[in-house]
Homo-oligomer: A and B are copies of this chain.
């Protein structure tokens, strides 16, 4: 499963940036993928079938790449980073399986979700199986600190999802409350994925802290951009994204573009948001109207500006590391994540 690095890239620096990182970690990621295939096996055929549907569905493996790159930037020479990276991907896959059940999603990355093909029940259980496997893999690295970090992240992710559930459909959600949700549900795993790379390299605490900060802020930026993309971003289309524009709208999720549009809007606009998201009374043309309101108040731009802010913090966090191709690739990765909106 080699990674194809395009020699000439028309989509600009952002896209090139992730290719650069992919090329640096390509060999390690081959090992990670091999490990994933090996360890998702079970004598119960439905488990690897369902797990591989999602694991092989064309995700970018951003989180395990973070673990690999973080360990390499810290000069790690061993082989436990492969296990940790696989473990991070298992944990991520488990949360996706459960998320799709919780959100009742039909599509992910343009393909039918596992729950649509195998049912909610199997998705919950295979998620649990993968969580167990994730911890089993981490134990093999014998790093109690890495285990602690990832176990904490597992709880925090679930906390974030419950927060989201509790705040769901409340159009008066504050920007702060929204930020708490995405820090927990998304950024915590990015942070953990990067931090454990430093931890197994047994580097000074300030390097682990720097990578944790990089991961956390990158994760926040990533989720902000994701939420902007769900309303089409600036120029993207569903076809180029492999994602259905308007999913969050249909699932009545209160994301930052909406939080800001609700606050910036007048009484009539607020009544609209309440009807479609709070009361769930969605009619034809509502998504288009919603998109117009976001444009009227420039909340997609504002969301991406927020993402830039966190992206800058992520980049600066890496300043303590020497200028190597790994550092540059991680810095460029931030641009890639934000550049997805063009």
Contact = CB atoms under 8 A, between A and B. Distances in A.
A98 B44 CA distance: 19
Interface string A138-176: 110010100110011111111101110110000000000
Interface stretch (A8-16, A23-31, A128-136, A333-341): A128-136
Interface string A110-128: 0000000000111011111
B102 A159 contact: no
Contact of A139 (B47, B147, B161): B147
A166 B133 contact: no
Contacts of A154: 128, 131-132, 135
A15 B142 CA distance: 43
Contact of A165 (B102, B122, B162): B122
Contacts of A159: 42-44, 47, 129
A93 interface: no
B132 A155 contact: yes
Nearest to A184: B44
Contact of A147 (B46, B133, B147): B147
A46 B166 contact: yes
Nearest to A101: B124
Contacts of A158: 125-126, 128-129, 131-132
Given A129-B162, A132-B156, 9 more contacts: A42-B159, A46-B166, A94-B128, A98-B124, A102-B124, A102-B125, A128-B157, A131-B154, A135-B147
Interface of A: 42-47, 94-95, 98, 101-102, 120-122, 124-129, 131-133, 135-136, 138-139, 142, 144, 147-148, 151-159, 161-163, 165-166
15 contacts: A42-B162, A44-B163, A46-B165, A95-B128, A121-B165, A125-B158, A125-B165, A128-B131, A128-B157, A128-B158, A133-B151, A136-B155, A139-B147, A139-B148, A147-B147
